[in-house]
Amino acid sequence: MSRSWLAAVSVYGRPRVVGMVFLGFSAGLPFLLVFSTLSAWLRDEGVTRTVIGFFSWVGITYSIKFFWAPVIDRLPVPILTRILGKRRSWMLLGQLGIAAGLVGMAFSDPQTEIVQTAQFALLVAFSSATQDITVDAYRIEALDRQFQGAMAATYVFGYRVALLVAGAGSFYIAEYAGWQTAYLAMAGLMSIGIVTTLIVDEPVHKVSRTIADLESRVEHFAGISSNPQGLFARFLKGVSDALISPFVEFFTRNGRLAIAILLLIAVYKLSDITMGVMANPFYLDIGFSKTEIANVTKLFGFFMTIAGAALGGVLVIRYGIMGPLLLGAVMVASTNLLFAVLAMMEPSLALLAAVVSADNLSGGIATSVFVAYLSSLTNTAYTATQYALFSSLMTLPAKLLGGMSGVIVDAQGYFAFFVYAAAIGLPAIVLVTVLIRLQAKEPARSATG
C-alpha cells in the first residue's frame, strides 16, 4: 500500500535512518586511503609506479569479503558481543582495526619501510571490508524492508561525504602538514563511526524454527550429525550451517524466481558501471578542462547523486521496491543515450551540466532502490553472508565487462560506445518487468526468517 508523500519523507527523521549517515561515513572513509589517496602519497615519496601498482592488490579484500561473512554471521567476538551484541561488536572491531592500521601507516616510512606500510594498508582494507559486512547486516536488520531505501540513501550520503574527506581533505592536509598528519587525522575521524556504534541500539535477532529445521535437513542430506561429538564433526556442521544453508534457504524461499533474481543482480549495474569507466576520458577528449570537469561532475554531480538517492528512498516508501527498481533501470539506460547526444555536439558547459545532472540523479535513484532490493532478498538468519554474496555478484560482471569499454571506444568512437552502454541496460529492464509479473502470480515467501 502506498503512503502519502509527507509520511514517506518523514522516514528521514527516524533515529536509525539518521544513524546510517555516520555509519556510512565510517564505511567510506578508509576506502580511498588504501587506493587513490595512498597512491598519491607513495608517488609523492618517490615509490616506483610498479610498486604502487602492486599496492592495488590490497583492494582484493573488498571483492572476497564473502569468504569471512559467514564467520561474522555465526561467531561472537569474545567479551564485546556480550556487551554490545552480535552486529555492533563486529562493527566496533572493524573500526578499531581501521584506526589502528591508519595510525600504523602514518608512522611507516614508505621509502624505507614499504613492507610495513603494505601490511598496515592490508589491515585497513581487511578491517574496512569487515566493517562493510557488518554495517550492511545492521542496516538490513535495524528497520523493516519498506525503510531500506531510506537507509540506503542516508548511507550513500555519509559514504560520499567520507570520500570527499578522504580524497580532497587528505590532500589539503598533506599539502600543509604532510602525509603523516593527514593519515593521523583520518584515523581520528574514525571516532565518528566508533561513537555511533556505541550509541545505536543492537537490532533484534530472530532465528525461526523454520531455519533450524532447514539446517537440520541440509545436515541430514550431507550425512552430517546434528549432534556432533568430535572437533571435525563440529567443524563440518558449522560449514553446513554457515555456508551451505544460506544458499539452500535462498533457493527454497524464492523457488523458480531464484535464477531470474540472480540474473537481475548480475546485470542491473552493467550499464551504469560500464559507462563510468570511460566518463572522464570522454570529458577530456571532447574539450572540457580539468577544472570544468571537477566543478560539474565532482562537486555538482555529488549533490545530484545525493538528491537521487534520497528520492529513491522516498519512492520505495511510497510505492514499494519493484516499481522504483524498474524506473531506475530505465533512467540509467536512457541517460547513457544523452551522453551519445553529447558526443555529437560542440562542447557546452550547460549541456554537460544537464547530462551529468540527469545521469547522477538517475544513478542515485537506481543505487538506493537496488540496495533496498538486495536487502529485501536476505534472510535475517544469514544477513551478512547472503548480502555479501549479492553485492559481489552485483559488481563482478560489470567490472569485467567494463574492462572492454576502451576497446569499443578505440574501434567505434564514443557515440557507439554510449549507445552500447545503454543497450546493455535492456536486460535489467526486461528482467525487472518479468519479475514483477511472476511475483504477482507467485510472491516469494517472507525473508525475515
- Mean pLDDT value of segment 365-389: 88
The answer to whether residue 449 scores a pLDDT higher than 60 is no
Other residues' Cβ atoms within 10 Å of the Cβ of residue 80: 17
Is there a single domain that holds both residue 352 and residue 315? yes
The answer to whether residue 14 scores a pLDDT higher than 90 is no
Give me the sign of the Cα torsion angle 180, 176, 38, 367: positive
Q: Does residue 448 belong to any structural domain of this protein?
A: no
For residue 444, the model assigns a pLDDT of 47
User: By percentage, how much of the chain surpasses pLDDT 70?
Assistant: 92
Is there a single domain that holds both residue 185 and residue 76? yes
Is there a single domain that holds both residue 29 and residue 109? yes
CATH of the domain at 413: 1.20.1250.20
Is there a single domain that holds both residue 53 and residue 128? yes
Is there a single domain that holds both residue 123 and residue 170? yes
Is there a single domain that holds both residue 305 and residue 371? yes
Which residue is associated with the grid cell 502519502? Answer: 4
The answer to whether residue 446 scores a pLDDT higher than 60 is no
Q: Write phi, then psi, for 137 (nearest 5 degrees).
A: -65, -45
Total count of domains within the chain: 3
Spatial contact of 208 and 381, defined as CB atoms under 8 Å apart? yes
For residue 179, the model assigns a pLDDT of 93
Is there a single domain that holds both residue 277 and residue 390? yes
pLDDT 10s digits, 308-341: 988 988 898 888 899 999 999 999 999 999 999 9
Is there a single domain that holds both residue 166 and residue 27? yes
Other residues' Cβ atoms within 10 Å of the Cβ of residue 324: 26
Q: Does residue 5 belong to any structural domain of this protein?
A: no
pLDDT 10s digits, 391-423: 888 877 776 776 677 778 888 888 998 999 899
pLDDT 10s digits, 90-146: 999 999 999 999 999 999 999 999 999 999 999 999 999 999 999 999 999 988 777
Q: What is the Cα–Cα distance from 365 to 369, expressed in whole angstroms?
A: 6
SS3 label, residue 45: coil
* Alpha-carbon separation of residue 343 from 50, 109, 283 (angstroms): 34, 45, 9
Q: Does residue 271 belong to any structural domain of this protein?
A: yes
* Alpha-carbon separation of residue 416 from 280, 335, 361, 410, 422 (angstroms): 17, 14, 23, 10, 10
Is there a single domain that holds both residue 369 and residue 408? yes
pLDDT 10s digits, 209-221: 777 777 788 877 7
For residue 438, the model assigns a pLDDT of 86
Mean pLDDT over each residue of the chain, to the nearest integer: 86
DSSP letter at 77 equals P
Q: Does residue 129 belong to any structural domain of this protein?
A: yes
Is there a single domain that holds both residue 46 and residue 170? yes
Domain span holding position 230:
209-245
Is there a single domain that holds both residue 297 and residue 388? yes
Is there a single domain that holds both residue 236 and residue 260? no
